[in-house]
Structure formats: structure tokens, C-alpha cells
A and B are shown apart, each in its own frame.
Chain A
Amino acid sequence: MGVSEQDMMSTAAGLASTGKIPFASTFAIFAAGRAWEQVRQCVAYSLANVKIVATHAGVTVGDDGGSHQAVEDIGLMRILPNMTVIVPADGVETRRVIETIADIKAPVYVRTGRIATPVIYDDRYKFRIGHASILKEGRDVTIVATGLMVHIALGAADLLKKDGISATVINMSTIKPLDEDTLLDSAMITGAVVTAEEHLISGGLGSAVCEVLADKYPCPVKRIGIQDRFGISGPPERLLSYFGLTSQAIAEAAKKAIKARKDCSTTELPRVRTMRA
């Protein structure tokens, strides 16, 4: 389609209207940002069977800098009615996601990154839209992560273990519809939640988790993500550190969330569930 993201989204919707299953792919900032209104009008509003697979999301785009680092795209897509939003955690899950979304008749936004990330799942992994996967079960704190932050969250769980804190790590690969049951089940055990995403702390996973918890099980939540600012040039790994997207930062946030829960002791949260054996 050339350098014409807006034309691409509407053209994809036209193809979908003739029964085809178009996959429209470009950088996340152009898929979700530049062509947002085309996605809204032609894809989401029309319920067109278009699969938007965005690449180069987040600050780990690296050297290209803030103009090319989408830190808003989850929010931009999540807010659209009819849109499903998925952020795979590794190569295996990405493959499963692509196979799965080709089989459903609905608009989908998939967010992928540029850099190579560790493989978390083996070939037996089964992905289901709207179903989070629990990678580690603990009783003290719930870490909900998405995308490349999942493996970083696993690192945080290891750090916490050294301090005698047991953490649940949830890979929330479907941001919308959010797997409320898995989130609430864990939050009811731990009473303290940390979210981790390579995205602004507003609008993305952290917001989605807070919306559910505020409604259904209020408890302390700490959000790890990019503060209210844009990205900058730099090597991807160093940018993750620069923006506080590290295992250490998640572990610290976890401790703060646990402390906040204890500080609420006058209005002790109901620990209605005990940890499943």
C-alpha cells in the first residue's frame, strides 16, 4: 500500500466487506495513531473483519526516537467499541495469536515490538482471546504484565522471592476484553496489585486493571509504565532502565503495594479467598 496508512485501513475494510480477511500491518504509532479515525470509522464502527497487526510498539524501538515509539497505542485502540486488543508476550504466543484471530470474525488490534525477547512459552501453549495465563502463583502480590514486560515481571518475581515475598505473575495478553476473573481471583488472594507495560501508565493495561478493581475489588495498585511523557532515542535495553521498566522497579512497586495494603489495616480488605493448593 505504500506509505499511506489511512488508505490502507479503509482499503482493508473494503476487502473485508467482500469476505476477505485482511491483515493490515505497519508501525504501531501509524496504525493506531495516524490512521486512528480510519480504524474507528471503517473498521470498529463498521465491525469490519480487519486484523491490524502493529509492529515497533513501545520505547524499545530504540534509536529512532520518540516520534516512532508508540506509547499510547493500547489506549487508543482499547477505547474503541468493538475492538479486541492483544499484546503477545513472546514469539510463541504471537504465532498462536495470529492463528487465533484469523478464525474469528471481528476487528482485532495486535501489538508487537521490534526487539527480540526471551521465549516464555513452549509449543504446547494454547492461547484463547480474553484468557490471561498465570505464569507463577503466589499469595503476597499480583503482578499483571503484558508484552515484553511479562518476562521482566518474571524477573521481578524472582527478586521478590529472595525477600520472602511470593508473587503471582499474570500474562494479560488480551487487554480487551480483559480477563476479569483471573485478575479478581488473584487480587482477592493477594490484595495488592502491580501492573507492568511498555506503554503510558494512562490508558493501557494499568488503567484497564484499575477500572476493574475500582469497580469490583478495590485494593492498592501500583502501575509500572511510562509516565506522562514521550520516548527518546537510545539503545532499547537502556531505554527500559531509563523509563523504569525493570524487574527491580516492579519488585519495588510490589513492596509498596503490599505496604499500602497493610496500611489499610483499619479497613482491612476482605481476604475472601485462600490460595489454591
Chain B
Amino acid sequence: MESISDVQKLIQIARRVRIQIVKMLHQAGSGHTGGSLSAADILVALFLYKMRHKPNNPDWVHRDRFVLSKGHACPAYYAVLAECGYFVPEELYTLRQLGACLQGHPDCLLTAGVDVSTGSLGQGLSLANGMAMGTRLDGRGARVYVVLGDGEVQEGQVWEAAMTAPHYRLDNLCAIIDHNHLQIDGRVEDVMNIEPLGAKWQAFGWEVQSIDGHDMKQIMEALDQAERTKGKPTMIIAETVKGKGVSIFENQVKYHGVAPNDEELAVALRELAAA
């Protein structure tokens, strides 16, 4: 699809995506509000600006690939896929229902635009490495993007994969950490400290960029810079706010895995409409 490079336009799309996120979560009655809202701007920049893909032909062999390693943020993923036209927006309100294409975590067998199933944390970077190896073998110049959570990097497999990508010089791979500083049990630094995060990835052989994960222009520039980086993979550490865009959800650990109720939805829609 055609890339949108107008920053204001992308910001408006991200606002729409956030509205869809809270509405679909409210309708579902369960799901992960905070981490979906923190990842929204990153996903919009990826799918609407950066990635080469064809919503009307999801299996297009030249497409760039995407892995949502923090699979619980799939409301944001689904809302962006709907925005791109992979399916009609009405589909979003079937989230988590019996028989729905939109499962509680991404399912590649059921959802158009989802290449690999995720949900069990810590495995997406390995999947992305495999995809980057595969697309490189094909020589079609496709790139692979993967979004991880910050709590997720506590999983040991992430660091196995962190070794693999630079070892194979996967410069067609760009990983982004949605660094919102909260996980289900509290503050990441209190539960199991992951800092110094950038230094760790650097030491493993990655090109590391640190950005504001809600500044659309910074996200776009970081993705462009990653594409220019040769010989090694790029890790973009995106500083984000969990629950971003809705005051009552922002930085509240409670909304890691809780959907908005009627009153909270009303507040969220009011704030997002005024944004």
C-alpha cells in the first residue's frame, strides 16, 4: 500500500487506532489496554509509513514482515490492520469472541496480515530472525520488523535471539522495544531490572537507537535510519507511556490486563476525541 509520510496524518491515524483499541477492548470485556496504547504509534508508523505490504494480497512474496512479539498488544495490531484494509473495522468488535478471527493473541492461521502466531512471550525475536534469514535467502530485499515488550526481555530466549541476529549480520532486521516501564506485576525495575537496556543490546552487537516512542517523526526517522544501517541489526528502544492517550490509564499498572468498563470508555473516548 501507499506509504503515508505526512506526520500530522499519521498522528490522526494513531488517534483513530487508539479509539478503536479502547472500543474493541470494552466490547471484548477483557484484554490488554496499557500495552496496546503504548505500542500504537510504533505500529502506525510501521504499517502506514514504513513497511511495504499489500493488504489486498497479504501473501505478497516481496512484503516486509512483522512480528508482534508482545502478542498481548494485539488490539493495537488489529486496529492498524483494519486501518490498512486487511479486514473491515467491524471485525474489530468480535475480538476474543467464540469463532472470531481476532483471537486473544495473534493467530496466523486465522487473521489476514498476521504472519506468525505469538502470545507466549520471548519467542518473537527468534521468529523474526528466521524470517530475516529466509527473506535474505530469497534476495528480495524484504525487511523484518519485530516489536517486543520491556517486561518480555526478562525471558531468556530473547537473549539467545539477541546473539543470533548480529551473528548472522541480519541488517534487514529491525527490533523495537516498547519501553513503557510497567509489567503485570509492577514496575519493571522492581520486578526484575533490565537496565542498562541499551548497553546490553550494544554489547550483543546491535545498532541501538533511543527515541520517544510517541513522537511520530522520531519513530519514522529511526525506522529510516535502521534501513540505512548495514552489517548489523538495529534495536530501537522506544520510551513510551503505558496506557498512552487516556489519563486514567497512563502509567497505571492495573490496566496492563484490564479492559475499560463503561465509565472508563466514556472518559477515554472523550479524551481521545479532544486529542
| For the complex of A and B, 8 pairs with smallest distance between CB atoms | A14-B130, A18-B134, A10-B126, A7-B160, A4-B160, A11-B130, A14-B127, A15-B130
Closest to A22 in B: B130
6 contacts between A and B (CB under 8 A): A6-B157, A11-B133, A17-B134, A19-B138, A22-B130, A42-B117
A211 proximity list for chain B (CB < 8 A): none
Contacts A10-B123, A17-B130, A17-B131 hold; do A42 and B164 have CB atoms under 8 A apart? no
Contact in complex: B120, A37 (CB < 8 Å): yes
Contact in complex: B108, A46 (CB < 8 Å): yes
Contacts A6-B157, A18-B138 hold; do A42 and B116 have CB atoms under 8 A apart? yes
> Does A12 make an interface contact (CB < 8 A)?
yes
Interface string of A18-31 (1 = CB under 8 A from B): 11101000000000
A51 to nearest B CB, angstroms?
14
B163 proximity list for chain A (CB < 8 A): 2, 4
Contact in complex: B157, A38 (CB < 8 Å): yes
Closest to A45 in B: B117
> Does B239 make an interface contact (CB < 8 A)?
no
> Does A187 make an interface contact (CB < 8 A)?
no
Contacts A14-B116, A18-B138 hold; do A42 and B127 have CB atoms under 8 A apart? yes
Could you say which of B117, B163, B167 has the most chain A C-beta atoms within 10 Å of its C-beta?
B117
A11 to nearest B CB, angstroms?
4
B105 to nearest A CB, angstroms?
10
> Does A47 make an interface contact (CB < 8 A)?
yes
Interface string of A87-122 (1 = CB under 8 A from B): 000000000000000000000000000000000000
> Does B115 make an interface contact (CB < 8 A)?
yes
A17 proximity list for chain B (CB < 8 A): 65, 108, 115-116, 127, 130-131, 134
> Does A1 make an interface contact (CB < 8 A)?
yes
A93, B119: Cα distance in complex, Å: 37
Interface string of B55-83 (1 = CB under 8 A from A): 00000010001010000000000000000
A residues at B contact (CB < 8 Å): 1-2, 4, 6-20, 22, 37-38, 40-42, 45-48
8 Å CB contact of B127 from A13, A20, A37: A13
Contact in complex: A6, B127 (CB < 8 Å): no
A19, B124: Cα distance in complex, Å: 18
A40 proximity list for chain B (CB < 8 A): 120
Closest to A2 in B: B163
Could you say which of B61, B123, B164 has the most chain A C-beta atoms within 10 Å of its C-beta?
B123
A7 proximity list for chain B (CB < 8 A): 126, 129, 157, 160-161, 164
Could you say which of A2, A13, A17, A22 has the most chain B C-beta atoms within 10 Å of its C-beta?
A17
> Does B273 make an interface contact (CB < 8 A)?
no
A38, B117: Cα distance in complex, Å: 11
> Does B137 make an interface contact (CB < 8 A)?
yes
B residues at A contact (CB < 8 Å): 61, 65, 67, 108-109, 115-120, 123-124, 126-135, 137-138, 156-157, 160-161, 163-164, 167
Contact in complex: B135, A41 (CB < 8 Å): no
B130 proximity list for chain A (CB < 8 A): 10-18, 22
B205 to nearest A CB, angstroms?
14
B167 to nearest A CB, angstroms?
8
A1, B126: Cα distance in complex, Å: 11
Contact in complex: B126, A18 (CB < 8 Å): no
Contact in complex: A15, B131 (CB < 8 Å): yes
A2 to nearest B CB, angstroms?
7
Closest to A4 in B: B160
Could you say which of B116, B127, B156, B161 has the most chain A C-beta atoms within 10 Å of its C-beta?
B127
B272 to nearest A CB, angstroms?
33
Closest to A46 in B: B117
Closest to B128 in A: A14
Contact in complex: A18, B157 (CB < 8 Å): no
A1 proximity list for chain B (CB < 8 A): 164
A199, B133: Cα distance in complex, Å: 36
Given A7-B129, A10-B126, A11-B130, 17 additional A-B pairs, CB 8 A: A2-B163, A2-B164, A4-B164, A8-B126, A9-B126, A11-B133, A11-B161, A14-B128, A14-B134, A15-B134, A16-B134, A17-B65, A17-B108, A19-B138, A46-B108, A46-B109, A47-B109
A45, B103: Cα distance in complex, Å: 13
A132 to nearest B CB, angstroms?
30
B127 proximity list for chain A (CB < 8 A): 10-11, 13-14, 17, 42
A268, B79: Cα distance in complex, Å: 64
Contact in complex: A18, B160 (CB < 8 Å): no
A83 to nearest B CB, angstroms?
15
B121 to nearest A CB, angstroms?
10
Contact in complex: A10, B157 (CB < 8 Å): yes
A47 proximity list for chain B (CB < 8 A): 109
Contacts A18-B131, A42-B123, A46-B108 hold; do A13 and B116 have CB atoms under 8 A apart? yes
